[in-house]
Amino acid sequence: MTDSTLLEQLNWRYATKKMDTAKVVPQEKLDVIIEAIRMAPTSSGTQPFELLVVTNPEKLAAIREAAGGQAQITDGSHLLVFAAWDNYTADRIDEVVDLNVKARGDLPMLHAYYDNLKNNYVPRDAAVNYAHAARQAYIALGIALVAAAEQEVDSTPMEGFDPSKVDEILDLKSRGLRSVVLLPLGYRDPTGDWLLPMGKVRKPLETIVTHVD
C-alpha cells in the first residue's frame, strides 16, 4: 500500500476516553476544524444543520449529566454539538437558492432544481426530513474527525446522550433544530486513558470490502 499521511493520522486518532483538563485547543486549530465542517458536502448543498461550539462551564456540566456523565464533555476544551434542521421548509430551501445565486448567478436550471426539491421535501413527514438532515450532519462529523486528526487534536464522537435534554439546555427547539451528535475536542491524558495503549480494532479488509468488477 502507498504511504499515506492521512492513513497515519487516522491510525493516530481514537475515541479519547480521558482528556487533559490543563490543555486547551488553540483557536487556530479550532478554526481549521470548524472550516472543514463548513466545507463538508451535503445532499443538494442544503447544509441542513448548524454547529454549536460550547465552552460555557454550566452548559457543559448540564450536557455531561444528559450524556450519562461522560467526562470528556467537561474535561475537553470545546464541545461541538451538531444540530440538524427539524424539518425542511420552503424558506430554508429558498435560502440555499439565494446562496447559489450569489455564488453562481441566476441560472434557470438552478431554480428548476430547487423547485423540484421543495416539491419533494416540503410535503414529507417532518420525522423523515429530520432523519435526512441528521444524515447530512453525520457527513460533517466524519469530516470533523479527519480534520481534528490532521490538526493532532483529540476527539470523541458521542451518540450516548438524551437529545431532548440537550435541545432544552441549548434552546434548540426555538431555532428549529434538534441535536444529533456530540464531539468533545481536547488533548488525551496519556496517564489516565485506559484505551490509549490498546491496539486499533478494525474488520479485515476482505470482510468489509467487496469488489464488483
Whichever domain contains 83, its CATH number is 3.40.109.10
Asked whether residue 96 is assigned to any structural domain, the reply reads: no
Question: According to the model, what pLDDT value does residue 38 have?
Answer: 98
Joined grid coordinates for residue 90:
420552503
Asked whether residue 209 is assigned to any structural domain, the reply reads: no
Asked whether residue 39 is assigned to any structural domain, the reply reads: yes
Question: According to the model, what pLDDT value does residue 2 have?
Answer: 74
Asked whether residue 53 is assigned to any structural domain, the reply reads: yes
Structural domain range at position 179? 5-88+124-188
Asked whether residue 207 is assigned to any structural domain, the reply reads: no
Question: According to the model, what pLDDT value does residue 3 have?
Answer: 81
Contact 182, 79 (CB under 8 A): yes
Asked whether residue 71 is assigned to any structural domain, the reply reads: yes
Q: Residue ranges of the alpha helices (H) in 39-125?
A: 57-66, 72-75, 90-104, 108-121
What is the count of structural domains for the chain?
A: 1
Angle at Cα 175 formed by Cα 169 and Cα 177, nearest 5°?
75
Question: According to the model, what pLDDT value does residue 108 have?
Answer: 87
Asked whether residue 151 is assigned to any structural domain, the reply reads: yes
Backbone angles phi, psi at 44, to 5 degrees: 60, 20
DSSP 124: S
Q: Render each residue's pLDDT in the chain as its tens digit; 213 residues.
A: 678 999 999 999 999 999 999 999 999 999 999 999 999 999 999 999 999 999 999 999 999 999 999 999 999 999 999 999 999 999 999 999 999 999 999 998 999 999 999 999 999 999 999 999 999 999 999 999 999 999 999 999 999 999 999 999 999 999 999 999 999 999 999 999 999 999 999 999 999 999 999
Asked whether residue 49 is assigned to any structural domain, the reply reads: yes
